[in-house]
Amino acid sequence: MSRIVAIASITGFSYGSLPFVYLGIPLFRGKPKTVHLRPIFDKIKAKLGSWKGRMLTIMGRVQLVNVVVSSMLVFSFHVYRWPKSLLASLSKLIRNFVWS
């Protein structure tokens, strides 16, 4: 343990443990579960809830989802394979927003 403390003091980094969030992606050990990826899901849900879908045309809503939501997801898709239940819930949220 003293070796870790020495390295941390030399480099200026702090000692941490899993799980933690790095660049918006939760890092953890093992297979991703719904609880690990729930914060990303909640951010997307909050964004969809804050947008005024009725003020946009259907193409405007599709474009908004394609640009914003897809970019939030693509980064995490490169790191983890999302659970099917979470993807189904997300798909339902997006579908309801587009067709609102």
Question: In this structure, what are the phi and psi dihedrals at residue 20, rounded to the nearest 5 degrees?
Answer: -150, 170
Structural domain range at position 88: 19-98
Residue 52 falls inside a structural domain: yes
What are 28-47's pLDDT values in tens digits? 888 888 888 888 899 889 98
Which stretches of the chain are DSSP H helices?
A: 2-11, 34-50, 58-64, 70-79, 84-98
Share of the chain above pLDDT 70, in %: 99
**Mean pLDDT within 37-60:** 86
Q: Note whether residue 69 is domain-resident.
A: yes
Give percent above pLDDT 90 in the chain: 13
Q: What is the mean pLDDT of residues 17-34?
A: 82
**50, part of any domain:** yes
Distances (CA, A) of 92 to 8, 30, 86, 89: 45, 27, 10, 5
pTM, two decimals, is: 0.71
Distance CA 1, CA 4 (A): 5
In a domain, 2, yes or no: no
The answer to whether position 36 is within a domain reads yes
Residue 68 confidence (pLDDT): 86
Tokens 């579908």 found at: 95
66 belongs to a structural domain: yes
pLDDT score, position 1 = 67
Q: What is the pLDDT of residues 71-83, one digit of tens each?
A: 888 888 888 888 9
Mean pLDDT of 20-35: 82
Cα 20 to Cα 39: distance, rounded to the nearest angstrom:
12
pLDDT of residue 72: 82
39 cis-preceded (ω within 30 degrees of 0): no
Q: What's the structural domain count of the chain?
A: 1
